[in-house]
């Protein structure tokens, strides 16, 4: 297994759901398997979850499961064949089933958009390939002029960059999908088209309502793909457990030239929080149909690594592409190349302004001690993932981050954190026993050897959540 620190999320679909391909993806470098609930059925998703859990046990390392809710994605309805839209022609969009025949082309849509649109509002279809402009809203119809035409087929996505879409964030389908995910103990729930902190709060309440007895709460990953989410991101991050820069829809909703800077701002905010960040969409898009990526795509992956994202994500590349395993292998090579350079290093005391708590001071001390003593690893004990997040966000370059936990759920969640190598630790009754057990587990990983120095980070009393208060150097 490679020793990269930036994690890789693979979207699972028809190209990758076979158990042999799933194992190949895991061996190549997949850290998290993403299930896109916009596609597939519960039977196939449940089968993937079962297989991934078995592979995780076999490889003795966590592979997280991310459930990605569809959210209020507005789509074109069912079309027989395709509709050719020509520039300047007038078309009618409607969710109604029975419409009178007219000389104008009628386009079915899945939801009622009348209250969301007014004259001159843009309507972007199929990631902005087709561009309409609203001329009027009349009865159950939205009339629009074609600004940029093209071939239109069923189920293509619709973006309304100038409109506040008045549809529920979490639909009945999303709630059913959430219940399915919670019943199968998923580690992360990604919420699409977040617009405000209240959206995350709403999902959190639904999780509490539907969480099975004795099940662990998954981390909520807020997908940032709306202008309103960008504007209120700092507040959204207070309630979410992490964020994803979903650049596909984001690049349609805001000017594409702004996306790279938004990516950097979101990743930096997550780094300071500290909470995990994911950069997603079209990273190696040409590998859907080609065995090698473009040079620009390689640079894109490298850019996400130097931005200090916790994870990079493959979408269509592994879900429906011809070369799913090769795409992961390419991503791993790029990550390793960048991580071995100075371009991936955080400047000294980059996070000093966030060291305003005892835990932050302990994490900073652990990082400095690892450099001063040339320690081979920072070994931490975490019961909630908090200690792991605090150490990971320091981005130590020369010391491995070995995190111990006695929670299988936390063990799986740590699969998303930069540089963290999680292990299950036996329960300890005292601090001395805890440190002894941690050193023994670290030794067994072969990441450290007898005589190596390690930095121990933990808390006293033992087992208290978010209780980082001890750091010391030990010799194995």
How many domains, in total, are found in the chain?
Answer: 3
How sure is the predictor about 441, in pLDDT bands with cuts at 50, 70 and 90? confident
Q: Which two tokens stand for residue 320?
A: 């429906």
Last residue of one domain, picked from the residues 159, 185, 208: 159
Q: Which two tokens stand for residue 285?
A: 């898009």
Say whether pLDDT at 419 is over 90: yes
- Pair (272, 362) in one structural domain: no
Say whether pLDDT at 216 is over 90: yes
- Pair (58, 90) in one structural domain: no
Among 223, 264, 389, 395, the one annotated catalytic: 223
Say whether pLDDT at 319 is over 90: yes
User: Does the residue 35 lie in any domain?
Assistant: yes
Beta bridge partners of 144: 91, 134
- Which tens digits make up the pLDDT trace of 127-160? 889 999 999 998 889 999 999 999 999 888 898 8
How sure is the predictor about 314, in pLDDT bands with cuts at 50, 70 and 90? very high
- Pair (40, 89) in one structural domain: no
The predicted structure's pLDDT at residue 440:
84
CA distance 410 to 389: 12
How sure is the predictor about 112, in pLDDT bands with cuts at 50, 70 and 90? confident
Beta bridge partners of 277: 243
The predicted structure's pLDDT at residue 461:
66
- Pair (15, 82) in one structural domain: no
The predicted structure's pLDDT at residue 464:
62
Last residue of one domain, picked from the residues 311, 339, 367: 339
Domain encompassing residue 441: 352-475
Determine how many CB atoms are found less than 10 A away from the CB of residue 278.
29
363 vs 265, higher pLDDT? 265
CATH code (residue 314): 3.20.20.60
58 has catalytic annotation: no
Nearest to 252 by CA among 158, 316, 166: 158
CA distance 137 to 117: 7
Among 6, 281, 405, 458, the one annotated catalytic: 281
Say whether pLDDT at 348 is over 80: no
CATH code (residue 107): 2.40.33.10
Say whether pLDDT at 84 is over 60: yes
Contact 307, 247 (CB under 8 A): no
**Section 231-257 average pLDDT:** 94
| Averaged pLDDT score across all residues of the chain | 91
User: Does the residue 346 lie in any domain?
Assistant: no
The predicted structure's pLDDT at residue 131:
96
How sure is the predictor about 2, in pLDDT bands with cuts at 50, 70 and 90? low
Say whether pLDDT at 439 is over 60: yes
Task: Find the DSSP H helices in 340-407.
Answer: 358-372, 386-392
267 vs 103, higher pLDDT? 267
User: Does the residue 309 lie in any domain?
Assistant: yes
The predicted structure's pLDDT at residue 462:
59
The predicted structure's pLDDT at residue 450:
86
CATH code (residue 382): 3.40.1380.20
CA distance 75 to 441: 51
Q: Tokens 């896109």 correspond to what residue?
A: 36
Q: Tokens 């074609």 correspond to what residue?
A: 146
Checking DSSP bridges between strand 400-405 and strand 420-424, what pairing results, if any? parallel
Say whether pLDDT at 192 is over 70: yes
Peptide bond into 338 cis (omega under 30): no
Question: Pseudo-torsion of CA 276, 413, 469, 474, nearest 10°?
Answer: -110
User: Does the residue 63 lie in any domain?
Assistant: yes
- Pair (176, 230) in one structural domain: yes
Contact 337, 5 (CB under 8 A): no
- Pair (220, 330) in one structural domain: yes
Say whether pLDDT at 399 is over 70: yes
CA distance 194 to 174: 13
User: Does the residue 96 lie in any domain?
Assistant: yes
The predicted structure's pLDDT at residue 356:
55
Say whether pLDDT at 258 is over 90: yes
Nearest to 300 by CA among 259, 352, 253: 259
226 vs 303, higher pLDDT? 303
247 has catalytic annotation: no
**Section 194-202 average pLDDT:** 95
Say whether pLDDT at 25 is over 80: yes
- Pair (309, 191) in one structural domain: yes
- Pair (284, 178) in one structural domain: yes
User: Does the residue 347 lie in any domain?
Assistant: no
Rama region for 465: left / alpha / beta (φ>0; ψ in -120 to 50; rest):
beta
**Section 218-228 average pLDDT:** 95
- Pair (223, 309) in one structural domain: yes
Percent of the chain exceeding pLDDT 90 equals: 66
Determine how many CB atoms are found less than 10 A away from the CB of residue 93.
25
- Which tens digits make up the pLDDT trace of 26-45? 999 999 999 999 888 999 99
Say whether pLDDT at 354 is over 60: no
- Pair (239, 330) in one structural domain: yes
**Which of 81-90, 308-317, 338-347, 384-393 comes out lowest in average pLDDT?**
338-347
Say whether pLDDT at 107 is over 90: yes
306 has catalytic annotation: no
CA distance 375 to 454: 5
What residues contact residue 272 under an 8 Å CB cut-off, 6+ apart? 351, 354, 393
Say whether pLDDT at 100 is over 70: no
Peptide bond into 274 cis (omega under 30): yes
**Which of 322-331, 450-459, 463-472 comes out lowest in average pLDDT?**
463-472
Q: Which two tokens stand for residue 251?
A: 């690049």
223 has catalytic annotation: yes
Last residue of one domain, picked from the residues 297, 312, 339: 339
- Pair (175, 314) in one structural domain: yes
317 vs 439, higher pLDDT? 317
User: Does the residue 1 lie in any domain?
Assistant: no
- Full DSSP string of 300-368: HHHHHHHTT-SEEEESHHHHT-S-HHHHHHHHHHHHHHHHTSGGGPPPTTTTGGG--SHHHHHHHHHHH
- Pair (326, 381) in one structural domain: no
The predicted structure's pLDDT at residue 359:
81
User: Does the residue 344 lie in any domain?
Assistant: no
**Section 409-430 average pLDDT:** 91
Among 27, 47, 53, 75, the one annotated catalytic: 75
Say whether pLDDT at 463 is over 80: no
**Section 443-451 average pLDDT:** 84
Nearest to 370 by CA among 452, 458, 469, 276: 452
How sure is the predictor about 475, in pLDDT bands with cuts at 50, 70 and 90? confident
Q: What's the N-to-C CA distance of the chain in angstroms?
A: 24
């Amino acid at each position: 297994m490679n020793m990269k620190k930036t994690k890789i999320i693979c979207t699972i679909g028809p190209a990758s759901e076979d158990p042999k391909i799933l194992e190949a993806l895991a061996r190549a470098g997949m850290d998290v398997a993403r299930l896109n609930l916009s596609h597939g059925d519960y039977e196939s998703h449940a089968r993937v979850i079962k297989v991934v859990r078995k592979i995780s046990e076999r490889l003795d390392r966590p592979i997280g499961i991310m459930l990605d809710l569809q959210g209020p994605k507005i789509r074109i309805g069912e079309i027989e064949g395709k509709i050719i839209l020509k520039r300047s022609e007038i078309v009618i969009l409607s969710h109604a089933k029975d419409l009178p025949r007219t000389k104008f082309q009628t386009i079915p849509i899945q939801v009622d958009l009348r209250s969301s649109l007014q004259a001159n509002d843009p309507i972007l279809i199929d990631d902005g390939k087709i561009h309409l402009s609203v001329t009027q809203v009349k009865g159950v119809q939205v009339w629009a002029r074609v600004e940029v035409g093209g071939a239109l087929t069923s189920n293509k996505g619709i973006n309304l960059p100038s409109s506040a879409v008045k549809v529920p964030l979490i639909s009945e389908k999303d709630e059913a999908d959430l219940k399915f995910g919670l019943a199968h103990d998923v580690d992360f729930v990604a919420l699409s088209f977040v617009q405000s902190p209240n959206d995350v709060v709403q999902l959190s309440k639904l999780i509490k309502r539907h969480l099975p007895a004795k099940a662990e709460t998954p981390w909520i990953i807020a997908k940032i793909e709306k202008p309103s989410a960008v504007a209120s991101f700092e507040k959204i991050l207070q309630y979410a457990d992490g964020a994803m820069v979903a650049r596909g829809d984001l690049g349609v909703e805001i000017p594409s030239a702004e996306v790279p800077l938004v990516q950097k701002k979101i990743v930096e905010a997550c780094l300071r929080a500290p909470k995990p960040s994911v950069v997603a969409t079209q990273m190696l898009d040409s590998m859907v149909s080609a065995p090698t990526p473009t040079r620009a795509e390689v640079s894109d992956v490298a850019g996400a690594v130097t931005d200090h994202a916790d994870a990079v994500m493959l979408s269509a590349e592994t879900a429906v592409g011809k070369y799913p395993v090769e795409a992961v292998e390419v991503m791993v090579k790029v990550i390793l190349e960048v991580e071995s350079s100075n371009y991936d290093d955080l400047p000294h005391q980059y996070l000093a302004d966030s060291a305003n708590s005892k835990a932050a001071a302990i994490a900073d001390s652990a990082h400095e001690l690892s450099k001063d003593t040339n320690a081979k690893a920072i070994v931490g004990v975490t019961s909630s993932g908090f200690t792991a997040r605090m150490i990971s966000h320091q981005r130590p370059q020369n010391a491995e981050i070995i995190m111990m936990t006695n929670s299988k759920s936390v063990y799986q969640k740590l699969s998303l954190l930069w540089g963290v190598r999680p292990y299950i630790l036996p329960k300890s009754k005292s601090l001395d026993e805890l440190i002894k057990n941690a050193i023994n587990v670290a030794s067994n990983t072969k990441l450290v050897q007898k005589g190596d120095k390690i930095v121990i980070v933990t808390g006293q009393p033992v087992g208290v959540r978010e209780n980082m208060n001890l750091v010391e150097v030990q010799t194995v």
